[in-house]
A and B are shown apart, each in its own frame.
Chain A
Amino acid sequence: MSAPMIDLQSLQVAFGHGAQRVVAVDGVSLRVADGECYGLVGESGSGKSTVLRAVSGLNPDWTGRLSIGGTDQTAKRSKGFFKTCQMVFQDPYGSLHPRHSVDRILAEPVAIHGLDDADGRIDRALREVGLGPSFRFRYPHQLSGGQRQRVAIARALILEPRVLLLDEPTSALDVSVQAEILNLLRRLRAAHGLTMVLVSHNLAVVANLCDRLAVMNRGRLVEELTVEALRRGEAHQPYTRQLLRASQGYDRATADSFRDFA
C-alpha cells in the first residue's frame, strides 16, 4: 500500500477509574489508503464510535500512534487538522443546534478557520448535498431526517476535508432516504477523492460503499476483510460469521445458535 491516509497503531482508550474503569478500545491498529472507504462494524458497545472520536480529535484521552496524511497526531490537534479531517455523527436529530439556521450552522466552521468567501462556500456545500439555496434560512425542526443528515454532511464538507469519518450516517433514516445518502456519499468520494471511515450495524450498507472493513468485538479488532470476501461469505472469525448469519433476517433457531465471544 502506498503511504496510508490514516495510520492507527495500538489505539487504547479507557473510561473511568479504579473499579469503574472500562477499557473501551484495546489495541486497535488499522490503515486506510488515500481515497479508500473503510467500514467498521461490530457489536453495540464494542468501541466503534470511540475509535472514530479518537481519530477525529474529539477525545484526547488515548494512547497509541496515529498519523493522518503522513503527519503524526497527538492528543491536541492543530486547527489545520480539522480542515483535513471531519466527522458526521450518529444522531441527525441531536447534532445540529436547534436554534441555529442552516446558514449559521454552515458559516460557523468557515469563520473559525478564517476562510474567505463564506457565501460562495455555503452555496456550493448546499448544492453539493442536493439542497437548494432555499434551505439556507431554515431551522433544523423545519427539515426532514434526511435533509438534516445532508446539512450535517454539508457542514463537514464545507472545509473541503480529505478525510470524512461517518458514524452510522443512515441508521436513523428510512430506506429511501438511506439510498439517497449512500448515493450522495459515493458521488462525493469520486468527485473529491475523499478517504472515508464508515461505522454501521448494517453489513449491506457497508458493502455498498466500502472497499474493506474491520469487525470489532469488545474493544478489539477481530478481523479485517475485503467487501468482496464479505459478499462471498468468506469470514474466518466465528464472530464475523455470526454477524453474517444475523444479517440474513430473523430466524428463531439461528438466534439460539448465537454465543458470546470473550
Chain B
Amino acid sequence: MSEPLLEVSNLRVSFPTRQGVTEAVRGVSFTLGREKLGIVGESGSGKSMTGRSILGLVPPPGRVTADRLAFRGEDLRTTSDKRLRAIRGSDIAMVMQDPKFSLNPVMTVGHQIAEAYRVHSRASAREAKRRALEMLAAVRIRDPERVYDRYPHEVSGGMGQRIMIAMMLIPDPALLIADEPTSALDVTVQMQILAILDDLCGQRGMGMIFVSHDLNLVASFCDRVLIMYAGRVVESCRAADLHNARHPYTRGLLDSLPRLDDNRRDLPVLTRDPAWLTDGPAAEAQR
C-alpha cells in the first residue's frame, strides 16, 4: 500500500476548566488513505475536536497531544506555524461546522473565494474571479454573478455552507476535513454537493474526513466509519455495514432514527452504560 495520507495515533485533546480538566478526545487512532472516512457520534463526543486538532485549530486553552500526527509522513506536531499555515488551505482544507464564523464578514463572498485561489496559484485577478464563479456554479449556487458580490450576512444558511465548500475546494486540497458540511441543506442539494465531493475523491484521489450526525448519510456516502462516544472511538466498521453495527451505543443511535418505512411513533432514546466509557476497538486495531 502507498504511504497513507494521514496517520493519527493516541490523539488527546483536553481543556482546563474551573471544575477540572475536560477530556474532549481520549486516545483516538486511525489511518486515512484516499478514502471517505465518516465520524459519527452524539453531540459532545469529540468529533469536531478530532477534526480541528489535525490542523492545529483547537481553540485555546485546549491542549493537544498525540503519539503520532502525520500528513504524508510529515510530523504535524513539530511543524512550524508558518508551514502549518501553508498546509492549511492548500494541502488540507477544513469546512467548519458553523460557516458564519468562518467567513470574513466585511469581504464579499466572491472576493474571498477568489483570494483563496490566488494565494496558491498566483493567477491574475481576472482568472481568479472566473474560477471563483465556476466554483460557485459547481456548488449549485443558482445566480453566481449576483451572489459573488454579496456579503456573508446577505446569504441564507444553506448558501453560506456551499460558499465555504467552494472556498475550501478551490485550491484543490489532498485532504478535506468536512464538519457537518451539509446539515443546513435540503436533501436534494445535499446529494448534489456530496456528488461533487465524491468525484473529487474518486477522480483526483482526495481523502476526506466527513463528520456528521446523519447515520444514514454516512452509511451510504462514506467508505469507513468511526463511531465516537465520550472522546473515544468505541467501534469502527465499513460504512456499508453500519446498519449491522454491534456496539449497543451504535445500535442505540440507529434505533433512535425515525424512518419513512416504519410508522412506529415513540422513538427509543439512548440509555447510557458506564462501560461504554472504556470500550474501544483496541482489539480490532491490533488485528
Contacts and interface: CB of A to CB of B under 8 A. Distances in A.
A249 B220 contact: yes
Nearest to A42: B186
Contact of B258 (A208, A252, A255): A208
B268 A179 contact: yes
Interface residues of B, number: 44
A103 to B, nearest CB: 22
A71 interface: no
A243 interface: yes
Interface stretch (A28-36, A120-128, A152-160, A197-205): A197-205
Secondary structure dominating the interface of A: helix
B192 A179 contact: no
Given A249-B220, A251-B220, A175 B256 contact: yes
Contacts, number: 119
B27 to A, nearest CB: 22
A138 interface: no
Nearest to A48: B186
B267 A182 contact: yes
A250 B217 contact: yes
Interface in A182-208: 182-183, 186, 201-205, 207-208
Contact of A231 (B195, B213, B260): B260
A176 B252 contact: yes
A44 B185 contact: yes
Given A179-B268, A207-B263, A243-B186, 7 more contacts: A45-B158, A90-B157, A175-B42, A175-B253, A208-B258, A208-B267, A250-B191
Query: What 5 pairs between A and B have smallest CB-CB spacing?
Result: A44-B158, A249-B220, A255-B195, A179-B267, A246-B187
Interface of B: 41-44, 142, 156-159, 183-192, 194-195, 198, 213, 215-217, 219-221, 252-253, 256-261, 263, 265-270
